[in-house]
Structure 1
Amino acid sequence: MKILILGGGGREHAIGKKLLEDDPSIDLYFYPGNGGTSIIGKNIENHHTVLDLGFFSKKNTIDITIVGSEVFLLKGVVDIFQNFGLKIVGPHYLAAKLEGDRIFAKSFMRKYGIRTPKYKIFYCYEKAINFLKKNTNSIAIKTNGIAAGKGVFLTHNPNDAIEVLQNIMIKKKFGESGNQIIIEEFLKGNEASIIAFFNKKNIIPFLSAKDYKKIGENEQGLNTGGMGAIVPNPHMKNSIWIDFKKNILEPTLEGLIIEKLTFFGFIYFGLMISHNKVYLLEYNTRIGDPEAQTLFPLMKSNFLNVIQSSFQKKEIFFDWKKLCSCCVVLSSVGYPEKYESGKIITGLNSLQEPFYIAGAKREQEKWITSSGRVINIVETGNTIQEARKKAYDKVKKIQFDNLYFRKDIGL
């Protein structure tokens, strides 16, 4: 069997490792991949458009393609592959708008009664400024486009809010993603991530996760693609799960079916637990990063069989180890803004599994940093505390110039 995985980060390395664990005989292809994926499969080159990738998959008889990165989804890769008659895991373009177009997603939530924070939409900078000047409460400002996961800002006074607005709508720091914005009420509470598999009929949730999005400890500083995660999320009590299923998952499923937004793939619920109620902050239409890296070491089910069963319209379920896991992201100083790459990494060759390469490459038998997030260190244990200690013990074995990581993952 030949499987193509689209993306180049730790998530894609984790997906590939899990598939090989389930069936060592499969041939893995990655685009664009990284230094880690090149060891477990083949990174393909010179296929710069999703149409090129479709031709490659047809020519090379790829059996299944799994989309890791949202970049490909928002270019319509699923529609193109399906037109080629190819099997692909991910949403078609219109369904992917649930992630790529926050205003579209908010409209969907409102239509189907999905509990979400109160919000206002602005297309005009002056009208948004006038609203901010009258509002002294803490708020969240969001670009309409996802801006590589960095388009959400929490502000606690009008001056900070106005500065954020200028960066988005006047200075165009996030390009066209900031042409429209959402100003949302600030909810104090605990965030949770629920990733699920959608088989066109049912949404089957994974274990809960907690993602650490900010660059600084105690959730301070800029948003990143994720600096670590733990599974399960200690705040997802049984009563919260019940509330989530009733007020978010079930109406989401109803809306997806009615609106014909059905697909084989992942749906990610970004949640806020506030005053014993759960609110939906955002959808992603893919498996999360670094949640994927934290979840797969706990998955007992054969992931490849689940994917195949979904295409065969069979019932699917997931079985999990009764353990906890902790992922710590090692990054380059300066991320998520300016950072230096090309630093030699030591200690990686002796590192015990599980770990995943996010932004590193092999050059002349040496590992070299190539991106902002470099390595995902993961460990499991009977408790979060045990998994956390084991993960940070492994972190000590890795060194490179300008290494940075948060020291509070799992606390």
Structure 2
Amino acid sequence: MKFLFVTRYSSLHALASQIQKEGHEVKYTVLSRTEKEVGDGFVEKIDNWEEYKKWADAIIFDDSDFGDVCERLRKEGHKVVGGTRYSDKLEFDREFGTTEMKAAGLTTIPSWEFQDFDSAIQFIRDNPQRCVVKPSGKAQNDKVLSYVGQEEDGKDVITILERYRKGWGKKIKRFQIQKFVSGVEVAIGAFYNGKKFILPALVNFEHKKMMNNDIGPSTGEMGTSGFWAMDTRLFKETLGKMESRIQGYVGYFDINCIVNARGIYPLEFTPRFGYPTLNLQLEGILSKWGEFMYALAAGHDFPLRTKRGLQIAVVVAVPPFPFSDNETFRKFSEDAPVVFKKPSTEGVYPCEIKLVDGEWLLTGTSGYSMVVTGAGSTMGDARKEAYSRIKNIQVPNMFYRTDIGERWNRDSDLLQTWGLLT
């Protein structure tokens, strides 16, 4: 079959490469000018994807702002993996997402939407409490702007908002203040074929901070651990309640939650491929990806086969990650080689990498260089495999967390105790 991939920031080529290895034809477009070199040498790159839409048996998009394009293509008769206007709004408009959660019968955490910092600061002064700041719209892509309050009276959040007002006032147009709820942070996601979810679902645990023990700036994600499960209570009370509401959407759909002894509290929707979640899925799914993606795009059911046990994915990054600084990237990271001590790339997925004369070189701008995965019957086995693969890699100034998956024993015990995995 023929697959056309359209990506804005280019981390989709690991999936494109996998489908190409299975014997299918692949063409790949990167829309961002600064990421144009990413994926070079791994897959065939094209400039104008619209010229190839009739060529493709399926077109695959990877972000949440292609909904209107995907709907147009579907009306033209194309088979598409990608969003809808509705799914785009679920992610970018936090207030709308919360409203839809309530309408679907999900239990939500109290939250308040603001369009200016002064009003939010006054609100916390009038209602002192521990809370979380979450930008809405495109600004939420800068994960370093999300802030989890530490003080019960909210004074640290007021300080953060005052600094955001000075430094980010033009970028953050809308944001949400959410009441802090303690518990285990866990996400539940599954692939949706336009009509229903394809099980099993992926129960996954994100590690968002830059350093071990959740210290440092938020990065989006430094690693993920997870496992596949069927019709659990966690699925029924989250994705299951959204199943009839997202019809038309095609692709991976994830809900991040806080859970505790009192219940399940959804935090946000991610209606798209996630990173490094996609790499975790590449490690954990046994089915042929080309057949699976085509079945999703065509609206077919599919007998998805996945590994038993557990999988982890570890982000290996270089400066300036998690910040954006083109000069720092050029100075410390651009065109740096990736050296493999032994000639094996199994479980190593290139992200902002290009292939030149058989050599992996760093490119792009962010320093999000690669993701390394592992799997095993226990979390210890999965961790051992992933970190042994990392030890085979040498990149100047590379860094990564060494504790991905370590909190599994505690988190899994709590989820079992609360009856969420049955």
TM-score by length of 2: 0.83
User: Equivalent residue of 2:238, what SS?
Assistant: helix
Match of 2:279 in 1: 293
Trace 1:69-84 onto structure 2 (pairs within 5 A): 69-70=63-64, 72-73=65-66, 76-84=68-76
Moved more, 401-410 or 244-253: 244-253
Are residues 310 and 41 of structure 1, via their aligned partners in 2, closer, same or farther at CA, if it must alter by over 3 Å?
same
1:106-144 deviation line (CA, Å, top 9, x unaligned): 111122221221111122322211112234432111111
Aligned-residue identity in percent: 23
**Aligned-pair distance for 1:365?**
5.3
Check whether the contact 2:14–2:351 (CA below 8 A) recurs between aligned residues: no
**Aligned-pair distance for 1:66?**
1.1
Unaligned runs of 5+ in 1: 48-52
Q: Does 1:187 align with 2:181?
A: yes
**What is the distance in 2 between the residues matched to 1:9 and 1:379?**
25
Check whether the contact 1:6–1:65 (CA below 8 A) recurs between aligned residues: yes
Match of 1:226 in 2: 221
Are residues 166 and 203 of structure 1, via their aligned partners in 2, closer, same or farther at CA, if it must alter by over 3 Å?
farther
**What is the distance in 1 between the residues matched to 2:170 and 2:69?**
23
**What is the distance in 1 between the residues matched to 2:165 and 2:302?**
44
Match of 1:50 in 2: none
**What is the distance in 1 between the residues matched to 2:273 and 2:132?**
24
Task: Give the letter aligned to residue 158 of structure 2.
Answer: I
Q: Does 1:116 align with 2:118?
A: no
Moved more, 327-336 or 342-351: 342-351
Residue of 348, 352, 362 corresponding to 1:369:
362
Q: Does 1:137 align with 2:129?
A: yes
Match of 1:325 in 2: 311
Check whether the contact 1:6–1:30 (CA below 8 A) recurs between aligned residues: yes
**What is the distance in 2 between the residues matched to 1:223 and 1:195?**
21
Check whether the contact 1:11–1:290 (CA below 8 A) recurs between aligned residues: no
Q: How many correspondences in the alignment?
A: 388
Match of 2:147 in 1: 153
**Aligned-pair distance for 1:86?**
2.3
Match of 1:95 in 2: 87
**Aligned-pair distance for 1:200?**
2.6
Are residues 81 and 404 of structure 1, via their aligned partners in 2, closer, same or farther at CA, if it must alter by over 3 Å?
same
Q: Does 1:397 align with 2:418?
A: no
Check whether the contact 1:27–1:41 (CA below 8 A) recurs between aligned residues: no
**Aligned-pair distance for 1:105?**
0.8
User: Equivalent residue of 1:41, what SS?
Assistant: coil
Are residues 126 and 392 of structure 1, via their aligned partners in 2, closer, same or farther at CA, if it must alter by over 3 Å?
same
**What is the distance in 1 between the residues matched to 2:203 and 2:26?**
28
Q: Does 1:271 align with 2:257?
A: yes
Check whether the contact 1:115–1:248 (CA below 8 A) recurs between aligned residues: no
Are residues 248 and 386 of structure 1, via their aligned partners in 2, closer, same or farther at CA, if it must alter by over 3 Å?
same
**What is the distance in 1 between the residues matched to 2:44 and 2:169?**
35
Trace 1:244-283 onto structure 2 (pairs within 5 A): 244-257=234-247, 262-275=248-261, 277-283=263-269
**What is the distance in 2 between the residues matched to 1:185 and 1:350?**
50
Match of 1:57 in 2: 53
Task: Give the letter aligned to residue 256 of structure 1.
Answer: I
**CA RMSD across the alignment:** 2.7
Are residues 168 and 67 of structure 1, via their aligned partners in 2, closer, same or farther at CA, if it must alter by over 3 Å?
farther
